Amino acid sequence: MPASPIRKLTPFADQAKSQGKKVYHLNIGQPDIETPEGMLNAIKNIDFTVWAYTPSEGTLAYRTKLTEYYNKLNYNIDPSQILVTVGGSEAITIAMQACVNEGDEIIIPEPFYANYNGFACMSNVLVKPILSHIENGFSLPKISEFEKLITSKTKAIIICNPNNPTGYLYSKQELEALRDLCLKYNLFLFSDEAYREFCYDGKEFISPMHLEGLDQHVVILDTVSKRYSACGARLGCLITKNKEVITAGLKFAQARLSAGMVEQIAATAAVDTPDSYFEKVNKEYTMRRDTLVNRLNSIDGVFCPKPGGAFYVVAKFPIDNADKFCQWMLEDFVHDNQTVMMAPATGFYSTAGAGMNQVRLAYVLNKQDLEAAMTCLEKALAVYPGRVN
């Protein structure tokens, strides 16, 4: 079971803090944006005498409310096509376990969300990575490269759109190419849409749910964590129009009994969050993205493409080893009693040796803290013993 590159350096961050250092956390997608008031009020106003189990598929009230949200996005679903899960993480594991047999393969463009490796390990599924490149902003690899990896054991392709860790936003043309590939080889297309709300510069979000002919192939994986800045709620869902997938997935859901009752009450209220909340958040993240990307690209030897969505970047640094550098930042470096925690990009690749000079940064801090963190980083890169020019 692989360690998380996002969390594995936590002991070094804790040690730095115990020494009195201020640590800027750019390693993890934990927003500092306030959770919507309606969601919090729903928790404060809860009135029940028994904190009971909920149905394994999720409460009908919540699933019905969710259809309002998704049908505004033109997904055209009903409550029977939603399986409520314990976080987006469980949606991913249930999708793998319900759709892919032990020893079969899933193709994933890399770098990808590191925990896909862990979920695949739990499901006895083999990940077949396909490399995307920082030079073109991590756009979708050519379909011909996908076809080279397809075997009789290939059962699914996973995309994260907008992407974690790169922030890349897939175009309609790229998704249509994936649709044609999945239809040609009878593959599932798992679409992780945790960052759907975070698209910038007027760019349009396209889901596989918007494409004709894919109803039996698409499995949407979603979560309230990022949309409502409610990571601690641990509530997500799996959506598909494929009845067999829902039937199989429900068996896994029954085995773990149910998702939380309080979380579903809060998330039901969250669906009524006004558009003004998301407009404000989008404006804030756009400013943070521009701040981070501009500062990174002003540092000697650093290259960072501008992402179209989510709240992450992957940047190339003039360093010998990203794991060593990120640990060195916490153990040995300090500037004005401050340092920065980042996630080495090596953990977001499956290909051995890939991402050795790349780091993922999450722009989840306010502008002032981002500026201070970038000053720290610039000072650190100037003196890092493993700098490569």
Task: Express each pLDDT in 150-162 by its tens digit.
Answer: 999 999 999 999 9
pLDDT of residue 5 exceeding 80: no
pLDDT of residue 191: 98
Q: Backbone phi, then psi, for 240, in 5-degree steps? A: -160, 150
- Both structure tokens of 114: 């590191």
C-beta separation of 313 from 291 below 8 A? no
Does position 231 have pLDDT exceeding 90, yes or no? yes
Query: Over the chain, what is the mean pLDDT?
Result: 96
Phi, psi of 49 (to 5 degrees): -105, -15
pLDDT, position 31: 87
Gap between the Cα atoms of 344 and 323, Å rounded: 5
What is the Cα–Cα distance from 9 to 170, expressed in whole angstroms? 31
Assign 33 a pLDDT band (cuts: 50, 70, 90).
very high
Place of tokens 């349009």: 204
- CA 43 to the chain's CA centroid: 26
Q: Is the peptide bond before 111 cis (omega within 30 degrees of 0)?
A: yes
Q: What is the pLDDT of residue 4?
A: 78
Model confidence at 285: pLDDT above 90: yes
Reported as a single tens digit per residue, the pLDDT across 57-95 is 999 999 999 999 999 999 999 999 999 999 999 999 999
* pTM of this prediction exceeds 0.85: yes
**pLDDT at site 188:** 98
Query: CATH number of the domain at 10-34+276-383, please?
Result: 3.90.1150.10
245 SS3 class:
helix
With cut-offs at 50, 70 and 90, classify the pLDDT of residue 245. very high
Task: Label residue 72 left, alpha or beta by phi (over 0 means left) and psi (-120 to 50 means alpha).
Answer: alpha
Q: What is the pLDDT of residue 3?
A: 76
Residue 306, token pair as written in the block:
């501008």
* Domain range 37-270, CATH architecture: 3-Layer(aba) Sandwich (3.40)
- pLDDT for residue 283: 97
Which amino acid would we find at residue 380?
A
pLDDT score, position 7: 78
Residue 6 pLDDT grade (very low, low, confident, very high; cuts 50, 70, 90)? confident
* Extents of the domains making up the chain: 10-34+276-383, 37-270
Percentage above 70 pLDDT, the chain: 100
Report which of 45, 57, 87, 63 is spatially closest to residue 271, judged by C-alpha positions: 63
Tell me the pLDDT tens digit for each residue of 177-224: 999 999 999 999 999 999 999 999 999 999 999 999 999 999 999 999
Q: Is the pLDDT of residue 352 over 80?
A: yes
Tell me, rounded to whole angstroms, the distance of Cα 336 from its chain centroid. 32
The 10 Å CB-count burial string (b at 16+, else e) for 232-247 is: ebbbbbbbbbbeebbe
Q: How far is CA 90 from CA 69, 104, 222, 244, in A?
A: 21, 19, 10, 18
